[in-house]
Structures are given as C-alpha cells and as structure tokens.
Amino acid sequence: MLKLNASYSKKVPAGEEYSSQSYHASVEVELPDGLTQDQLQTRIHETFDLVRNSVEAELHGKSPANYGGRPAAGAPRNGSQRSRSGVRQNEAPASPKQLSYLLDLARQRGITPQQIAARFQVPDIQHLTRQQCSDQIDEWRAA
C-alpha cells in the first residue's frame, strides 16, 4: 500500500500593508499496490486537483460544491436536514475518500472521470455531492 500526500497553499494580500492571509489544504490517501507509472501519475494529478480546487473555493468564498457555478443538487432524500454551515447534508461536497473510491471503481470499469462528470452534468468530479457519489458507488458495487 502506498500513501499519497497532496498539499496546496496560497497566500493573498490581506488589505493592510505587508500583511497576507494564508490558505492551505492537505490530504493523505492510500493507493493500491501495483499501479503503473501512468496510473500513479493520474492519481497524483487528480488528488492534487482536488486539494487545489478546495483551497481556491475557500479563497473565493464558495463551498467546493458550488465552486464553478454548479447548479444546486436535487431535493435530498432525508428532507431538509442542514449542517451547521447551512448546506443540506446530501448537497455537501463528496469527501476526498469518496472520490478516491469512486475513481478506483471507475478505473476498474474503464470509465474516465470526465464520463462520470458528464453523467451528473458537472464540470468535473470535484463538483459531485456526497449523495451523487454515494449513489454511483452503490450502483457499481451492486453490479
């Protein structure tokens, strides 16, 4: 088992002279043994994109689920239960762990991240909600 650590940091001016704000995100994922060099490079790229997009979404005051102007998700299954941030739980962004597992299952089936994004009509898989990701994982596991 390999471990991949992806981090992204960005400093921006904070309004006062010589001051700045720093934004940082880091994620660690486990990768299966036996990946080819191309598969490993793809996983590194996808993981880094996920971390970078999360920092950029924070920087621009948007949640990752809404970064890039994604339309709101459909009605949640469990009513209108909301988290402390006011986002419906089923509309919350998919977790890095969910996305990693979804990508593993997709690779096993020869499905690209772009095909997954197209199915859910989002710009890229980082815009999937927890519910969308969960539904796709459940569908593939049942098959």
Of 102, 107, 108, the residue nearest 120 (C-alpha): 102
Counting Cα atoms < 13 Å in the Cβ hemisphere of 119 gives: 13
With respect to residue 102, please indicate whether it lies within any of the assigned structural domains.
yes
With respect to residue 44, please indicate whether it lies within any of the assigned structural domains.
yes
pLDDT of residue 11: 80
With respect to residue 120, please indicate whether it lies within any of the assigned structural domains.
yes
Q: Is the pLDDT of residue 136 over 90?
A: yes
Tens digits of per-residue pLDDT, 17-33? 667 777 788 888 888 88
Q: Which of 59, 82, 106 is the last residue before a domain boundary?
A: 59
CB atoms within 10 A of CB 94: 25
With respect to residue 78, please indicate whether it lies within any of the assigned structural domains.
no
Report the C-alpha gap between 137 and 129 in whole angstroms.
Answer: 12
Q: What is the residue type of 124? A: D
Tens digits of per-residue pLDDT, 53-104? 888 777 776 655 544 433 333 333 333 344 444 445 557 888 888 888 999 9
Of 39, 40, 42, 64, the residue nearest 52 (C-alpha): 64
- For residue 16, what are its two tokens? 């006062």
In which domain, by residue range, is 124 found? 96-142
Q: Are residues 54 and 8 in the same domain?
A: yes
With respect to residue 83, please indicate whether it lies within any of the assigned structural domains.
no
Name the domain count of the chain.
2
Q: Which of 59, 87, 107 is the last residue before a domain boundary?
A: 59
The answer to whether the beta carbons of residues 120 and 132 sit under 8 Å apart is yes
Q: Is the pLDDT of residue 12 over 80?
A: no
Report pTM.
Answer: 0.44
